[in-house]
Amino acid sequence: MVIILGFIAKLISSRSLKITKSVLLSIELIIVVIKLSLTKYKLGQTMKLTIISLILIFTNSCIQNEPEHKWLSGNEYERLDTVAKHLRGNDLVMWEVDFRHKKLYEAIKTNNKPYALYQLKKIGLTMELGSERRSKRKKSYDWFFENAIPVMQEAIENDDKPIEEFKSFTAKCVTCHTMEKVAYMPVIKPWEK
Ligand code: HEC
Considering the domain architecture, whether residues 35 and 94 belong to the same structural domain is answered as no
| Residues 177 and 94 placed together within one structural domain of the fold | yes
Q: From the CB of 185, is ligand 1 less than 6 Å away? A: yes
Q: How far is the CA of 32 from the centre of ligand 1 (A)?
A: 65
DSSP letters for 76-92? HHHHHHHHHHHH--HHH
* Residues 124, 185 within the same domain: yes
Domain span holding position 36: 2-64
Average pLDDT of the chain is: 85
Residue 94 CA, distance from chain mean position = 19
173 and 95 co-located in one domain: yes
3-state class of 158 per DSSP? Answer: coil
**Does residue 80 fall inside a structural domain?**
no
Contact 116, 156 (CB under 8 A): yes
Longest dimension (CA), the chain: 93
Domain assignment of residue 163, yes or no: yes
The alpha-helical segments, DSSP class H, found in 110-137 are: 113-133
Consecutive sets of 10 residues in the chain, 193 residues long: mean pLDDT of each? 60 50 65 68 72 71 72 93 92 97 98 98 98 94 98 98 98 98 97 90
Q: Is the CB of 176 under 6 A from ligand 1?
A: yes
Same domain membership, residue 187 and residue 130: yes
Q: How far apart are the first and last CA of the chain?
A: 84
CA of 151 relative to ligand 1 center, distance in Å: 20
Instruction: For residue range 133-158, list pLDDT tens digits in order.
Output: 989 999 999 999 999 999 999 999 99
pTM of the entire predicted model: 0.74
Q: Is residue 60 in some structural domain?
A: yes
Same domain, 114 and 174: yes
